[in-house]
Amino acid sequence: MSDDVVDRARRTLEEGIRTDFGRAMSYGAYLDLDTLLSAQHPRSEPPQHDELLFIVQHQVSELWLKLLLHELRSARSLLAADELAPALKRLARVKHVQRQLVEMWDVLATLTPSEYAQIRPFLATSSGFQSDQYRAVEFLLGNKNADMVRVFEHDARARAGLEELLAEPTVYDEFLRLLARRGYPVPREVLDRDVTAPYRLVPALVEVFAAVYAAPDEHWGVYETCEELVDVEDLFQQWRFRHLQVVTRTIGHKVGTGGSSGVDFLRRALDLTFFPELYEVRARVG
């Protein structure tokens, strides 16, 4: 290859590109990459190649969950302030984050049963079941369960955060309160419900949504929000299902490292729903 061709192919630094970061903010400093990239501590002995995959997968999941909580809390606050349009923007971003979480299971699924068996003993009693951020997402969406807080007795920060969310309204609660403020006949029992309890289907509320779905053009903002919430639940169920499938192909029906029944426990979670009326109303459409 001639020098002329090499010169044309070489990517040279432009004159304005900064190279001195002695006093200026660098990319690594802004993202605190020294901390982030030094947070992986494989424990297998002798070292197992696939343990880094397992650790990175779960750490990245926790970062996405952190963003998910940030967006869901914002959506809830905007609904409480009657700001429906920006709340929908937040929910749109929530769905993109959820898709990342769902697709991440494809990476972990490359871990074969034999490979996982080499690192599983080093997990000891740790388990994704103990993710307080995952539990916080469930609380925000409506799957309240005070018993789950007991798992975090050892962690004052996590316990306090979950206790706080347990006592607060969910995203769905704030949406239903917004509907009531806009004149929709939301049943009083919904507005006065115990928000520390898991949400349960209220048949009278199905009638409210049936009217919305019967004339979507007249209720467009509300109609769109209903469908956004269904999308959120759909993606959450996809995440649960992929989790179930990956665990099944990796360990079969072994007991989970955290003490759960494993596959059977995960399968029961597929029966949970956050927004029951939004599914029940579908039988009324048309």
Q: Is 116 annotated among the ligand-binding residues? A: yes
| Sign, Cα dihedral of 57, 58, 61, 62 | negative
What whole-number distance in Å separates Cα of residue 196 and Cα of residue 144?
6
76 is in an annotated binding site: no
- DSSP letter, residue 282: G
Residues in contact with 141: Cβ distance below 8 Å, sequence separation at least 6, in sequence order: 72, 170, 171, 172, 232, 233, 236, 274
- Check if the beta carbon of residue 153 is closer than 8 Å to that of residue 54: no
Q: Give the pair of three-digit tokens for residue 231.
A: 């999308």
Half-sphere exposure for 201 (CA within 13 Å, toward CB): 11
Q: Cβ of 244: how many Cβ atoms within 10 Å?
A: 19
Query: Is 213 flagged in the annotation as binding?
Result: no
Q: Which two tokens stand for residue 223?
A: 């109609």
Angle between helices 84-108 and 220-251 (to 10 degrees): 10
Record the tokens describing residue 166, joined without a space. Answer: 């347990």
The dihedral formed by the CA atoms of 192, 66, 256 and 156, expressed in degrees to the nearest 10:
-70
Dist. CA 272–CA 269, nearest whole Å: 5
Q: Does residue 119 have a known ligand-binding role?
A: no
Residue 282 annotated as binding? no
Residue ranges for the known binding site are: 54-58, 116, 120, 243, 257
Binding-site residue numbers for substrate are 54-58, 116, 120, 257
* Binding site, annotated residues for heme: 243
